[in-house]
Amino acid sequence: ATFSTGVMAQRYVVGTNASFPPFEYVEDGEIVGFDIDLVKEIAKLQGFEVEVRDISFDSLIPGLASGSLDIVAAGMTITADREKVIDFSDPYYSANQSVLVHEESDANLTVLFGNHDVGVQTGTTGDTWVRDNLLEDEILTGELRNYDSYVFVIRDLANGNIDAAVLDKPVAETYSQNNPVNVVAEIITGEEYGIAVGEGNEELLAEINAGLEKVKNNGTMEKLIQKYFE
Protein backbone atom coordinates (compact mmCIF):
# COMPACT_ATOMS: atom_id res chain seq x y z
CA ALA A 1 0.00 0.00 0.00
CA THR A 2 1.10 3.54 -0.46
CA PHE A 3 0.71 6.14 2.18
CA SER A 4 0.59 9.83 1.67
CA THR A 5 2.72 11.71 4.15
CA GLY A 6 1.45 15.17 3.23
CA VAL A 7 -1.85 16.78 4.05
CA MET A 8 -3.69 18.46 1.21
CA ALA A 9 -3.65 22.22 1.66
CA GLN A 10 -7.02 23.84 2.10
CA ARG A 11 -8.16 25.53 -1.10
CA TYR A 12 -10.27 28.70 -0.97
CA VAL A 13 -12.21 30.44 -3.73
CA VAL A 14 -11.42 34.15 -3.92
CA GLY A 15 -13.90 36.45 -5.66
CA THR A 16 -12.94 39.74 -7.26
CA ASN A 17 -14.06 42.07 -10.03
CA ALA A 18 -11.04 42.52 -12.27
CA SER A 19 -11.85 45.93 -13.74
CA PHE A 20 -10.16 47.84 -10.93
CA PRO A 21 -6.51 48.48 -11.83
CA PRO A 22 -4.00 48.32 -10.25
CA PHE A 23 -5.80 46.29 -7.55
CA GLU A 24 -7.27 43.72 -9.96
CA TYR A 25 -7.35 43.64 -13.74
CA VAL A 26 -6.97 41.23 -16.63
CA GLU A 27 -3.62 41.05 -18.41
CA ASP A 28 -2.94 38.46 -21.14
CA GLY A 29 -6.07 36.62 -20.05
CA GLU A 30 -4.95 36.42 -16.42
CA ILE A 31 -6.39 38.06 -13.32
CA VAL A 32 -3.53 40.04 -11.78
CA GLY A 33 -2.95 43.04 -9.52
CA PHE A 34 -2.12 44.28 -6.05
CA ASP A 35 -4.97 42.43 -4.31
CA ILE A 36 -4.22 39.20 -6.17
CA ASP A 37 -0.54 39.29 -5.16
CA LEU A 38 -1.58 40.21 -1.63
CA VAL A 39 -4.01 37.34 -1.19
CA LYS A 40 -1.57 34.85 -2.78
CA GLU A 41 1.18 36.03 -0.44
CA ILE A 42 -1.10 35.62 2.59
CA ALA A 43 -2.08 32.15 1.35
CA LYS A 44 1.56 31.15 0.97
CA LEU A 45 2.46 32.40 4.45
CA GLN A 46 -0.52 30.70 6.09
CA GLY A 47 -0.32 27.48 4.07
CA PHE A 48 -3.53 27.52 2.05
CA GLU A 49 -4.26 27.64 -1.68
CA VAL A 50 -6.42 30.07 -3.61
CA GLU A 51 -8.36 30.04 -6.84
CA VAL A 52 -9.39 33.51 -8.11
CA ARG A 53 -12.72 34.16 -9.85
CA ASP A 54 -13.70 37.31 -11.73
CA ILE A 55 -17.40 38.15 -11.24
CA SER A 56 -19.50 41.31 -11.08
CA PHE A 57 -18.83 43.50 -8.05
CA ASP A 58 -22.40 43.34 -6.79
CA SER A 59 -22.28 39.51 -6.80
CA LEU A 60 -19.34 39.34 -4.39
CA ILE A 61 -21.23 39.80 -1.12
CA PRO A 62 -24.02 37.39 -2.17
CA GLY A 63 -21.25 34.93 -3.14
CA LEU A 64 -19.84 34.99 0.40
CA ALA A 65 -23.33 34.59 1.83
CA SER A 66 -24.19 31.59 -0.38
CA GLY A 67 -20.81 29.94 0.15
CA SER A 68 -19.79 29.99 -3.53
CA LEU A 69 -16.92 32.28 -2.46
CA ASP A 70 -14.72 31.96 0.63
CA ILE A 71 -12.81 35.23 0.36
CA VAL A 72 -13.33 38.57 -1.41
CA ALA A 73 -10.27 40.58 -2.42
CA ALA A 74 -11.64 43.44 -4.47
CA GLY A 75 -10.49 46.79 -3.14
CA MET A 76 -13.64 46.56 -1.08
CA THR A 77 -14.24 49.39 1.36
CA ILE A 78 -15.07 48.46 4.95
CA THR A 79 -18.51 49.99 5.59
CA ALA A 80 -21.01 49.64 8.42
CA ASP A 81 -23.68 48.32 6.01
CA ARG A 82 -21.42 45.61 4.65
CA GLU A 83 -20.24 44.71 8.18
CA LYS A 84 -23.82 43.59 8.87
CA VAL A 85 -23.57 40.76 6.34
CA ILE A 86 -19.88 39.92 5.92
CA ASP A 87 -16.70 40.17 8.02
CA PHE A 88 -13.65 42.24 7.11
CA SER A 89 -9.96 41.82 7.82
CA ASP A 90 -7.87 44.61 9.25
CA PRO A 91 -7.56 47.48 6.74
CA TYR A 92 -4.78 47.29 4.14
CA TYR A 93 -5.22 50.41 1.97
CA SER A 94 -6.77 53.90 2.27
CA ALA A 95 -8.55 55.70 -0.56
CA ASN A 96 -10.94 58.52 -1.43
CA GLN A 97 -13.42 58.87 -4.27
CA SER A 98 -12.70 61.04 -7.32
CA VAL A 99 -14.33 62.56 -10.36
CA LEU A 100 -13.09 61.45 -13.77
CA VAL A 101 -13.95 63.30 -17.02
CA HIS A 102 -12.84 63.27 -20.68
CA GLU A 103 -9.42 64.87 -21.07
CA GLU A 104 -10.84 67.43 -23.49
CA SER A 105 -13.57 68.44 -21.09
CA ASP A 106 -13.05 71.62 -19.06
CA ALA A 107 -15.32 70.25 -16.32
CA ASN A 108 -14.53 70.31 -12.63
CA LEU A 109 -16.50 69.09 -9.61
CA THR A 110 -19.59 70.96 -10.90
CA VAL A 111 -19.95 68.27 -13.60
CA LEU A 112 -21.81 66.42 -10.83
CA PHE A 113 -24.41 69.22 -10.61
CA GLY A 114 -27.37 69.69 -12.93
CA ASN A 115 -28.15 67.82 -16.10
CA HIS A 116 -25.10 65.57 -16.52
CA ASP A 117 -24.84 61.82 -16.92
CA VAL A 118 -22.59 60.10 -14.42
CA GLY A 119 -21.27 56.52 -14.53
CA VAL A 120 -20.56 54.29 -11.54
CA GLN A 121 -19.95 50.61 -10.88
CA THR A 122 -23.06 49.02 -9.40
CA GLY A 123 -22.89 48.39 -5.67
CA THR A 124 -19.74 50.40 -5.02
CA THR A 125 -19.23 53.19 -2.52
CA GLY A 126 -19.05 55.58 -5.51
CA ASP A 127 -22.53 54.43 -6.55
CA THR A 128 -23.86 54.96 -3.00
CA TRP A 129 -22.13 58.33 -2.66
CA VAL A 130 -23.76 59.70 -5.81
CA ARG A 131 -27.19 58.39 -4.80
CA ASP A 132 -27.00 59.72 -1.23
CA ASN A 133 -25.36 63.07 -1.90
CA LEU A 134 -26.45 64.08 -5.37
CA LEU A 135 -29.56 62.24 -6.54
CA GLU A 136 -31.48 62.37 -3.30
CA ASP A 137 -31.31 66.17 -3.13
CA GLU A 138 -31.65 66.56 -6.90
CA ILE A 139 -28.27 68.22 -7.15
CA LEU A 140 -27.63 65.89 -10.06
CA THR A 141 -30.64 65.90 -12.38
CA GLY A 142 -29.13 63.87 -15.25
CA GLU A 143 -28.85 60.10 -15.31
CA LEU A 144 -26.91 57.89 -12.96
CA ARG A 145 -25.65 55.09 -15.22
CA ASN A 146 -24.82 51.81 -13.55
CA TYR A 147 -22.19 49.47 -14.99
CA ASP A 148 -20.93 45.98 -14.06
CA SER A 149 -17.41 46.76 -15.23
CA TYR A 150 -15.26 49.87 -14.99
CA VAL A 151 -13.89 48.96 -18.44
CA PHE A 152 -17.25 50.06 -19.88
CA VAL A 153 -17.44 53.16 -17.68
CA ILE A 154 -14.09 54.28 -19.09
CA ARG A 155 -15.10 53.38 -22.65
CA ASP A 156 -18.31 55.45 -22.37
CA LEU A 157 -16.39 58.36 -20.85
CA ALA A 158 -13.81 58.23 -23.66
CA ASN A 159 -16.60 58.10 -26.27
CA GLY A 160 -18.48 61.02 -24.75
CA ASN A 161 -21.50 58.88 -23.82
CA ILE A 162 -21.33 60.04 -20.21
CA ASP A 163 -20.03 63.29 -18.70
CA ALA A 164 -18.25 61.97 -15.63
CA ALA A 165 -17.50 58.92 -13.53
CA VAL A 166 -17.19 58.65 -9.75
CA LEU A 167 -14.73 56.01 -8.56
CA ASP A 168 -11.87 55.35 -6.18
CA LYS A 169 -9.05 57.80 -6.86
CA PRO A 170 -6.13 55.35 -7.19
CA VAL A 171 -8.08 53.46 -9.85
CA ALA A 172 -9.20 56.63 -11.66
CA GLU A 173 -5.55 57.72 -11.76
CA THR A 174 -4.43 54.37 -13.13
CA TYR A 175 -7.05 54.52 -15.91
CA SER A 176 -6.02 58.10 -16.74
CA GLN A 177 -2.51 56.88 -17.63
CA ASN A 178 -3.71 54.91 -20.67
CA ASN A 179 -7.05 56.50 -21.58
CA PRO A 180 -8.17 60.00 -22.67
CA VAL A 181 -9.57 60.78 -19.22
CA ASN A 182 -8.46 63.01 -16.33
CA VAL A 183 -9.14 63.14 -12.60
CA VAL A 184 -10.55 66.63 -11.90
CA ALA A 185 -11.66 66.40 -8.27
CA GLU A 186 -11.15 64.34 -5.16
CA ILE A 187 -14.04 63.56 -2.82
CA ILE A 188 -12.71 62.99 0.68
CA THR A 189 -14.54 59.87 1.86
CA GLY A 190 -11.71 58.36 3.95
CA GLU A 191 -12.26 54.76 2.90
CA GLU A 192 -10.26 51.74 4.05
CA TYR A 193 -10.08 48.52 2.05
CA GLY A 194 -10.41 45.14 3.74
CA ILE A 195 -10.36 41.51 2.63
CA ALA A 196 -13.76 39.96 3.32
CA VAL A 197 -15.02 36.54 4.40
CA GLY A 198 -18.49 35.16 5.10
CA GLU A 199 -20.14 36.34 8.27
CA GLY A 200 -18.86 34.43 11.30
CA ASN A 201 -16.00 32.67 9.48
CA GLU A 202 -13.66 33.51 12.33
CA GLU A 203 -11.11 30.81 11.60
CA LEU A 204 -10.42 31.99 8.05
CA LEU A 205 -10.50 35.64 9.10
CA ALA A 206 -7.86 34.96 11.77
CA GLU A 207 -5.65 33.28 9.12
CA ILE A 208 -6.03 36.27 6.81
CA ASN A 209 -5.28 38.79 9.56
CA ALA A 210 -2.25 36.82 10.67
CA GLY A 211 -0.94 36.71 7.09
CA LEU A 212 -1.72 40.38 6.54
CA GLU A 213 0.20 41.30 9.66
CA LYS A 214 3.24 39.37 8.40
CA VAL A 215 2.98 41.00 4.97
CA LYS A 216 2.89 44.43 6.59
CA ASN A 217 5.87 43.63 8.85
CA ASN A 218 8.17 41.73 6.49
CA GLY A 219 8.44 44.39 3.78
CA THR A 220 6.15 42.66 1.27
CA MET A 221 3.43 45.31 1.55
CA GLU A 222 5.97 48.02 0.75
CA LYS A 223 7.20 46.01 -2.24
CA LEU A 224 3.65 45.59 -3.54
CA ILE A 225 3.01 49.33 -3.24
CA GLN A 226 6.21 50.01 -5.17
CA LYS A 227 5.33 47.43 -7.82
CA TYR A 228 1.84 48.76 -8.48
CA PHE A 229 1.99 52.46 -7.64
CA GLU A 230 5.46 53.69 -8.56
Q: Is 198 exposed, middle or buried (0-12, 13-18, 19+ CB in 10 A)?
A: buried
The answer to whether 59 contacts ligand ARG (rule: CB under 6 A) is no
Closest contact distance (angstroms) between CB of 150 and ligand ARG is 6
In b/e form, how buried is each residue of 50-60, taking b as 16+ CB within 10 angstroms? bebbebbbebb
What's the rounded Cα separation, in Å, for the pair 139 and 137? 5
Q: How many residues does the chain have?
A: 230
Closest contact distance (angstroms) between CB of 116 and ligand ARG is 21
Closest contact distance (angstroms) between CB of 64 and ligand ARG is 14
In this structure, which amino acid lies at residue 16?
Answer: T
What's the rounded Cα separation, in Å, for the pair 169 and 189? 11
Q: Which of 14, 24, 165, 204 binds ligand ARG (CB under 6 A)?
A: 24
What's the rounded Cα separation, in Å, for the pair 190 and 95? 6
Q: Which of 12, 14, 20, 112 binds ligand ARG (CB under 6 A)?
A: 20
The answer to whether 175 contacts ligand ARG (rule: CB under 6 A) is no
Which residue, 96 or 110, is less far from ligand ARG as judged by CB? Answer: 96
Closest contact distance (angstroms) between CB of 42 and ligand ARG is 17
The answer to whether 125 contacts ligand ARG (rule: CB under 6 A) is yes
Asked whether the beta carbons of 196 and 72 are under 8 A apart, the reply is yes
The answer to whether 88 contacts ligand ARG (rule: CB under 6 A) is no
Which residue, 105 or 149, is less far from ligand ARG as judged by CB? Answer: 149
Q: Which stretches of the chain bind ligand ARG, using CB under 6 A? A: 16-17, 19-20, 24, 57, 74-77, 121, 124-125, 168, 191
